[in-house]
């Protein structure tokens, strides 16, 4: 059987009196990307900090490559690279100086430090900034330096806490591509509160809310589970609300403007095709039809409802 690089068992943590996370269980194999999805305060950072041995849990166990983080943290940490939410960068160091220091902290042998720095810079596309002070880099490039320090010792597991947070749209695209690239050789766990980001990057998703796991499965299963249930429609010559609500499968019509409405449907119907067909037949002059994307909050509400319905 394949050795799991990460296994978390019944993990719970309490800051003073209230529980930040409760009974978290997670397992991942050697390559691919696991997304830890949850809104602000859900417990993602707490879970990641414990996973990486930065915070001691109240209860439960973390195994890295079969090594218990509490019992042998030095050995377990050798297998992990970590980019915390606030990247631990030294602004007055150059990229090379900083990475050399990280290599030293990671106990890389002296004669291998140069090649380790070269490898990390090359993978993260920052070789041309070797002598640039970190404070003079853009947010996207600083994040690349943060990722470079996380892979400098070629760990089997890389943990990235909200790595695209605070970046501009172009930088986000670049950092996502970098995450995909480094995951071809190792397992990556990254956290995000952006549903679409998790959808484009991950093979597996674990959703955490209020410190508890509310969903854990493949991305495909997640997408099936949280199919959109409303569609935004713009028409130049819309029919009455009554006519729209009589379309088979439509459960509710919300009028947004004179020409735009949100149609809720029962999930089983191929609704966009039907709207297009009816629009052509009845000259509604359809200008736009798009499935609504669910936000993390809506998905969470949907998952909670589905879980309740099963009970």
Ligand X SMILES: Nc1ncnc2c1ncn2[C@@H]1O[C@H](COP(=O)(O)OP(=O)(O)OP(=O)(O)O)[C@@H](O)[C@H]1O
Chain residues binding ligand X by CB under 6 A are 15, 20, 38, 40-46, 85, 193
DSSP secondary structure, the chain, as one string: -PPPSEEEEEEEEEETTEEEEEEEEEEE-SSEEEEEE--TTSSHHHHHHHHTTSS--SEEEEEETTEETTT-HHHHHHTEEEE-SS----TTSBHHHHHHHHHHHTT--GGGHHHHHHHHHHHHT-GGGTTSBGGGS-HHHHHHHHHHHHHTT--SEEEESSTTTT--HHHHHHHHHHHHHHTTSSEEEEEES-HHHHHHH-SEEEEEETTEEEEEEEHHHHHHHT---EEEEEESS---HHHHHTSTTEEEEEE-SSSEEEEEE-SSS-HHHHHHHHHHHHT--EEEEEEPPPPHHHHHHHHHHHHHHH-
Please state the closest distance from residue 300 (CB atom) to ligand X, in A.
12
In the complex with ligand X, the residue whose CB is nearer, 40 or 257, is 40
Whichever of 24 and 95 has its CB closer to ligand X, that residue is 24
Closest CB 241 distance from ligand X, rounded Å? 40
Least Å distance between CB 23 and ligand X? 15
Nearer to ligand X (CB atom), residue 165 or residue 260? 165
Residue closer to ligand X by CB (options 44, 229) is: 44
Query: How many CB atoms lie under 10 A from the CB of residue 248?
Result: 9
C-beta closer to ligand X: residue 96 or 197: 197
How near is the Cβ of 165 to ligand X at its closest, in Å? Answer: 8
**Burial zone of 14 (CB within 10 Å; 0-12 exposed, 13-18 middle, 19+ buried):** middle
Q: How far is the CB of 161 from ligand X (least distance, A)?
A: 7
- CA pair distance 33, 205, nearest whole angstrom: 9
- Minimum Å gap between C-beta 159 and ligand X is 12
Provide, rounded to whole angstroms, the least separation between the CB of residue 17 and ligand X: 10
Least distance in angstroms from the C-beta of 291 to ligand X: 27
Neighbours of 238 (CB within 10 A): 20
Nearer to ligand X, 15 or 104 (CB): 15
Q: 49 vs 230, which CB is nearer to ligand X?
A: 49
Beta strands 230-235 and 286-291, pairing class: antiparallel
Residue placing its CB nearer to ligand X in the complex, 17 or 257: 17
Question: 51, 220 in Cβ contact below 8 A?
Answer: no
């Amino acid at each position: 059987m394949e050795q799991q690089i990460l296994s978390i068992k019944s993990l719970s943590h309490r800051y003073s009196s209230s529980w930040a996370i409760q009974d978290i269980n997670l397992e991942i194999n050697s390559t691919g990307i696991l997304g830890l999805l949850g809104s602000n305060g859900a417990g993602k950072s707490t879970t990641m900090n414990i996973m990486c041995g930065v915070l001691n849990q109240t209860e439960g166990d973390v195994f890295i490559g079969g090594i218990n983080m509490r019992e042998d943290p030095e050995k377990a940490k050798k297998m992990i690279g970590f980019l915390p939410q606030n990247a631990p960068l030294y602004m007055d160091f150059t990229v090379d100086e900083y990475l050399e220091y990280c290599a030293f902290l990671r106990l890389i042998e002296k004669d291998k430090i140069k090649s380790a720095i070269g490898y990390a810079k090359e993978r993260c596309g920052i070789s041309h900034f070797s002598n640039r002070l970190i404070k003079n880099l853009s947010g996207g490039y600083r994040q690349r330096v943060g990722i470079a320090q996380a892979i400098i010792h070629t760990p089997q597991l890389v943990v990235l806490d909200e790595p695209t947070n605070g970046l501009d749209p172009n930088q986000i695209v670049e950092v996502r591509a970098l995450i995909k690239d480094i995951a071809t050789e190792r397992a990556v766990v990254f956290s995000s509160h952006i549903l679409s980001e998790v959808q484009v990057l991950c093979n597996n998703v674990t959703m955490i809310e209020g410190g508890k796991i509310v969903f854990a499965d493949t991305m495909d299963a997640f997408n099936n589970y949280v199919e959109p249930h409303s569609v935004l429609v713009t028409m130049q010559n819309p029919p009455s609300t009554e006519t729209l609500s009589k379309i088979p499968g439509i459960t509710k019509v919300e009028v947004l403007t004179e020409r735009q409405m949100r149609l809720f449907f029962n999930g089983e119907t191929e609704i966009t095709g039907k709207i297009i067909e009816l629009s052509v037949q009845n000259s509604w002059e359809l200008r736009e039809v798009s499935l609504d994307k669910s936000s993390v909050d809506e998905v969470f509400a949907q998952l909670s409802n589905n879980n309740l319905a099963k009970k």
